[in-house]
Amino acid sequence: MDLESAKLIGMAIAAGFGVMGPAIGIGLIGGRALEAIGRNPDASGKIVSNMILAIVFAEALGILAIVVSFIIKFV
């Protein structure tokens, strides 16, 4: 196996596993937020704003994983 093939495999593994965690996390965040809104509809504004903030932090980890995978490929 040459270096370019190893870089492509490393990129695929880093991107694949790197976005799996945030995807699961975003699903859990959304589900728990909907459950909380169902229990207390009056607090939906505060719940939604906190949910969006948590999704942004989780998505940042996914973007970081993709950036690292591109660094693996091009460096």
Per-residue pLDDT tens digits for 45-73: 999 999 999 999 999 999 999 999 999 98
Does position 75 have pLDDT exceeding 90, yes or no?
Answer: no
Rounded to an integer, what is the distance from CA 10 to the centroid of its chain?
19
Domain 3-74 has CATH 3.40.50.1470: no
Per-residue pLDDT tens digits for 14-48: 999 999 999 999 999 999 999 999 999 999 999 99
Domain positions in the chain = 3-74
Tokens 């965040």 — which residue? Answer: 29
pLDDT more than 70, % of the chain: 100
pTM beyond 0.85, yes or no: no
Neighbours of 52 (CB within 10 A): 11
Assigned token pair, 65: 């994983």
